[in-house]
A and B are shown apart, each in its own frame.
Chain A
Amino acid sequence: DQQVKQNSPSLSVQEGRISILNCDYTNSMFDYFLWYKKYPAEGPTFLISISSIKDKNEDGRFTVFLNKSAKHLSLHIVPSQPGDSAVYFCAASGGTDKLIFGTGTRLQVFP
């Protein structure tokens, strides 16, 4: 039972353009959503989060959008940079601190 889904295993974007990573969830009890970035041989690094009372949160080049009716969130990276190349995980929690992760999307930013 995959409660958090990232249906695109990989994404390739040109440097300077926008990267859009998507995530869907099934559990309506989730009220806090996070994005993590992971480089090889390192642990996940927290990027940005959003509470279910908001529909948008922005931090520099990173913006997360939440559509509760569609149970969908997305991460926008503008402009994309080669250093953004990594695996991105979407995670969700609801009422407890336990995080449920998606399977990740590998982003490659090329020159």
Chain B
Amino acid sequence: DAGVTQSPTHLIKTRGQQVTLRCSPKSGHDTVSWYQQALGQGPQFIFQYYEEEERQRGNFPDRFSGHQFPNYSSELNVNALLLGDSALYLCASSLGRHHSNQPQHFGDGTRLSIL
């Protein structure tokens, strides 16, 4: 039973560039959430996708966008990268918005470094 998988594991970009991170949810899960974790902090919610639509969004600028595909996998896109975007980006999957109180399961993240 495959868990949540993310790619790539590490990425180095320069300011102003654009990046795409990818996530495959745990088998049987249909909801994907993205989080940003800065050094020494807890994960911060970016947004959540369900039925290929963004359902909730945290306090992140429009430079952060995403997509969910029919197979439930998801992408996170960040445009016009800033130094402050350097962080660990975590994807989490869960079982549907109609199943209350279900834990989210996390992948190992993508470490993004901006030079």
- Chain A residues engaging chain B, CB cutoff 8 angstroms: 4, 31-32, 34, 36, 41-46, 49, 51, 89, 91, 96-104
Contacts and interface: CB of A to CB of B under 8 A. Distances in A.
Given A97-B33, A98-B58, A45 B48 contact: no
Contact of A102 (B31, B42, B103): B42
Contacts of B108: 41-43
Contacts, number: 60
A102 to B, nearest CB: 5
A44 B101 contact: no
A99 B109 contact: no
B48 A43 contact: no
A31 to B, nearest CB: 8
Nearest to A32: B101
B101 A99 contact: no
Contacts of B78: none
Contacts of A44: 43, 90, 106
A104 B38 CA distance: 12
A51 B99 CA distance: 13
A63 B107 CA distance: 24
B56 interface: yes
